[in-house]
Structure 1
């Protein structure tokens, strides 16, 4: 019988397909727990470095309550940043504690001159806005496949690849497609909301030889400072170093972002927002907001991916501080522009949110659910760790 020691991350020899695509294989190991995650790339070769491993391992280690060991060289600046990263995460998530981080040799990593600026690009409003506003300094788009689109969903994978290639060509920038099966392992260790920013940071370090700076598009306006999220203006830059910077970009109201990208046909042609399917369902929270936003900027006919939806078919929704700020801004624009129906729908959404918020102060169901999920993950992980290694 083994006991929980620490979560160890290392690079291992990739399978033939991953190796042929210039990819990497990462091993997550702790006692009897042993899993392999793959990263492959088109348009670049991924570099194995301990900085990427540290990004992949730190948040799961904190979620599971075990120390972390990185079997590779790690940049001193990034290692020093883990103190601030852990302090922030402990502040956000009750039950987290600071874990010990041990690594291979601690170094000052150097990079070649003349590297460019990358942008993580999904076709959504946020990354489209960052591309539209920062096009003069962006040299390449980086699209991660395996995050919100499963690798097994071949049609959606093909459409996401085509989207990224077409937008890159029309903007005259390069493109890199990174595929990974990380969620087949990570979803049993930690929620994607908490983890996705760290995964993006890991991919960023795998591409550090290509980019001096990497942009991660903000998913909120200035209110993003007030809520916990895996990609956050106070957090993202801490995953970077002086030679491999990460920039949280675009703290702007989403309606204002829609208005800006409405002037970019290449982005509107591929606009991708829906939480449920590639073709946009028209009924989820994201689709409802987008339909209202397109009506407010008079761009319903200019958004080909939404033309099949005749009208809004459900209520607007507020789910947290970020969407509350967005809804208030939408309500103000709608009221000032004579869109009474949208203003009224925004008012109803805001009222419902305040009622829910009041109730959660009495019974914090969301936090109870998060803690219960964490408890289940920890128990499942412990059972796997304590299995004898055969």
Structure 2
């Protein structure tokens, strides 16, 4: 894979940064771009930096070496081996380490721009970062100057056939206006060309690419955290990774990992009128403004609001949880499990309804059994349990191992069904 050429084009009141890419496995050249209103033309500079994160992960997935011909940051170039090491350790079969070469790695002159952007989608994590840095900007040193929303990042551009993003953008601009800060609304086609899983792989790289496309105007860009420091899992955006995409011009900052998602909802967003008026998390809305109230992400957000007594304040959600919420709530990976455990902790702290506490406890136990059994055959599951009871814990045999084994197998079967 080669980045052959980069060009900044100003036309029709827009500025577009375009990269010409040769993809070896497809034996063709493609164009990827980042586009903004013309008034942000001075924020955009012709360099390879914005395209490097966008290309590195696809190159690793395809097992293609990456060659960068245009000018790029020497700092970013030096960090690429570490970024590859992390992703390869996390996903050794999916993301292979490749050779990256650059013709013109350059140490840029640092400039003090005093402008800080933050990605903003009206979601839990982005609203927390917004509240944190507009209400108490001293935590970071300088307040936010810009919110960033990119069409083509949350979903590929091809999804937006009905203009569903327009109402989202309108809401984002209302929030920015209320805080007296500017809003950068752009679009990119990187997800149309590279169909990597967004969350586990491409999340941080995609946001880093957008950040670096604006590096002539923003000194720092905040990427709202997905997980807390307590729960650092393999994920595309991470406190282990995000800062490594920085250049001499622009610092990329992973923001908000000091607080778990449940705490963000119950302790911060629930107290903020803008968040309660505009919160948007739904996975069924295809990039639109609505929350269905019945998908796993809606339920995972509504539960802390309900438990903390704030669900009725959140006008973008139904007033009630769906009756089958415990079936909708998913525990399919360690992320889901950590969120469910945090919700249960909140429920116990505020002495929520016993029915909710019991349902969460049951869900978590089933989830743990599912994760334990995931990828194993029945024989491997039984072998693992027998190993624990008869080899690792020989003195515990006086308890009830057979009952526990049967219980684990029944939980496994329930999750499989």
The alignment's TM-score, normalised by the length of structure 2, stands at 0.80
2:10 and 2:16 in contact (8 A); partners too: no
The 5 A counterparts of 1:1-390 are 6-12=1-7, 20-31=13-24, 32-42=27-37, 44-45=40-41, 46-95=44-93, 96-135=95-134, 136=137, 137-151=143-157, 152-187=160-195, 190-193=196-199, 194-225=201-232, 227-251=233-257, 252-259=259-266, 260-277=268-285, 278=288, 279-307=290-318, 311=322, 313-315=324-326, 316-339=329-352, 340-362=354-376
Q: CA deviation at 1:312?
A: 5.0
Q: In the TM superposition, what is the alpha-carbon distance from 1:223 to its structure 2 partner?
A: 3.8
Q: CA RMSD in A?
A: 2.1
Deviations along 1:108-144, one digit per CA (max 9) or x if unpaired, are 1124323311101111000100111111221110111
Q: What corresponds to 1:382 in structure 2?
A: none
Conserved 8 A contact 1:7-1:66? no
| Alpha carbons of structure 1 residues 149 and 157: separation in structure 2 relative to 1, 3 Å | farther
Q: Given that residues 224 and 232 in structure 1 are in contact (C-alpha distance below 8 angstroms), is that contact kept between their aligned partners in structure 2?
A: no
Distance 2:156 2:100 in 1: 31
Higher RCO structure, 1 or 2 (CA under 8 Å, sep 6+): 1
Mapped to 2, the partners of 1:311 and 1:285 lie a distance apart of 11
Structure 2 unaligned regions, length at least 5: 138-142, 379-417
How far apart are 1:65 and its partner, in Å? Answer: 0.3
| TM-score w.r.t. length of structure 1 | 0.85
| Contact kept? 1:120, 1:141, Cα under 8 Å | yes
Query: Aligned-pair distance for 1:361?
Result: 4.6
For residues 125 and 363 of structure 1, what CA distance do their matches in structure 2 show?
38
Deviation at 1:161, TM superposition (A): 1.0
- Structure 1 residue 15: Cα displacement: 9.3
Distance 1:296 1:351 in 2: 20
Larger radius of gyration between Structure 1 and Structure 2: 2
Q: Secondary structure at the match of 1:71?
A: strand
- Equivalent residue pairs, number: 354
Instruction: Name the CA distance, whole Å, in 1 between partners of 2:186 and 2:194.
Output: 17
Q: Which runs of 5+ in 1 are unaligned?
A: 1-5, 365-390
Distance of aligned partners of 1:218 and 1:359 in 2 relative to their CA distance in 1, 3 Å threshold: same
